[in-house]
Amino acid sequence: MFDFSGLSNAVIEGDSDQVQAKVNAAINAKVDPLAIINQGLIGGMNVVGQRFKVNDMFVPEVLMSARAMNDGIELVKPLLAGGEMTNRGTVIIGTVKGDLHDIGKSLVGMMLECSGFKVVDLGVDISPEEFIKAIKENDGKVLALSALLTTTMLSMKSTIDECVAQGMRNDVKVIIGGAPISQEFSDQIGADGYAGDAAAAVELVAKLLAS
Ligand code: B1M
């Protein structure tokens, strides 16, 4: 059983060199790549979140932790790749208007890509109009919206409303996720589904495209 606490602590300390060393050790020990991400890297980031909340950590430290986590993810990424070479469908993903959080969204995008979907990642602070434009330009079959702030959750509804207004709602499945999001909220705003983490998002997209 691999001890993930050292890896999590390196993320909390924002020590990229240590994160990379410990991720490499885990890879060499043949630890499941998803466990490295979920238990080691995200496990550390969750502690960062709790400390940020009680002002025990501040923005520069949080950003260093985020960067260290991303450096670790980059090492694990090639192990997750190798899904089907065919495109199982194009997913347009982005963080909604007013929201700059991109770590979870990027993780979801990466996992989808590794599972054989084509992913168009628009980045952060994306308006409903920009999402619509990307769906049209890329023949998007799934729209994946991320929000981390309670104040930006409503932008998910505006984006879905814009799909309806453009007459595209029946042509695109909409999934939503992010720390403040729930299935109840998904039902309220008329999304096709909610996923709590990246693995669940992959399952949900596959299910929606099969139906
Ligand atoms: Co922000 N922040 N932040 N922040 N930040 C939170 C979200 C917060 C909960 C912290 C807290 O107070 N405890 C809080 C929100 C409170 C609320 O609204 N309820 C908060 C706040 C208040 C703010 C600011 C307003 C702070 C300020 O300036 N006063 C500000 C807002 C800026 C803005 O967006 N306009 C802000 C800024 C920042 C930083 C820039 C410093 C940095 C972001 C860096 C970046 O993303 N490049 C940051 C960070 C890092 C966090 C915390 C600490 C960590 C978020 C994270 O990356 N987690 C966060 C606290 C927390 O969540 N514990 C916090 C790791 C990531 C892997 O998890 O994003 O949840 P997560 O993604 C998960 C799932 O949610 C899910 O899968 C992922 C993998 O499991 N998921 C999806 C995500 N998107 C999905 C989409 C899907 C499906 C699943 O389908 C489409």
- Cα(71)–Cα(74) distance, integer angstroms: 5
Which structural domain range is residue 20 located in?
Answer: 4-83
Partners of 173 in the β-ladder = 142
pTM for the structure as a whole: 0.86
Tally of domains in the chain: 2
Q: Which of 37, 59, 83 marks a domain boundary?
A: 83
Closest CA to 143 of 180, 190, 183: 190
Our mutation pick for probing the ligand 1 site, out of 148, 151, 203, counting the most ligand atoms within 8 A of Cβ, is: 148
Residue nearest to atom 69 of ligand 1 (CA): 104
Sequence-ordered alpha helix ranges (H) in the chain = 5-12, 16-28, 33-35, 42-53, 59-80, 103-114, 128-138, 154-165, 183-189, 198-210
Q: Which of 51, 83, 115 marks a domain boundary?
A: 83
What was the pLDDT predicted at 86? Answer: 61
Is the same domain home to 196 and 133?
Answer: yes
Q: What is the CATH number of the domain that holds 123?
A: 3.40.50.280
Q: Which of 83, 112, 129 marks a domain boundary?
A: 83
Helix, coil or strand: residue 170: helix
Residue nearest to atom 16 of ligand 1 (CA): 149
Is the same domain home to 105 and 149?
Answer: yes
What was the pLDDT predicted at 42? Answer: 86
210: CB partners within 8 A, 6+ apart? none
Q: What is the CATH number of the domain that holds 36?
A: 1.10.1240.10
For 121, 131, 172, 181, 186, the CA distances from 162, given in Å and listed in that order, are 19, 9, 12, 20, 16
Contact (CB, 8 A) for 160 and 169: yes
Is the same domain home to 75 and 103?
Answer: no
The 8-class DSSP code of residue 96 comes to: B
Is the same domain home to 178 and 118?
Answer: yes
Span from the CA of 85 to the centroid of ligand 1 (angstroms) = 32
Closest CA to 180 of 146, 145, 149: 149
- Cα(198)–Cα(180) distance, integer angstroms: 15
Contact (CB, 8 A) for 175 and 191: yes
At 176, list the tokens. Answer: 């939503």
Tokens 């595209």 appear where? Answer: 168
What was the pLDDT predicted at 82? Answer: 56
> Is the CB of 110 within 6 Å of ligand 1?
no
What was the pLDDT predicted at 162? Answer: 97
> Is the CB of 122 within 6 Å of ligand 1?
no
* pLDDT tens series, the chain, 211 aa: 788 999 999 999 999 999 999 999 999 999 999 899 888 998 898 898 889 889 999 989 988 998 999 899 889 988 876 554 567 899 999 999 999 999 889 888 888 887 789 999 999 999 999 999 999 999 999 999 999 999 999 999 999 999 999 999 999 999 999 999 999 999 999 999 999 988 789 999 999 999 8
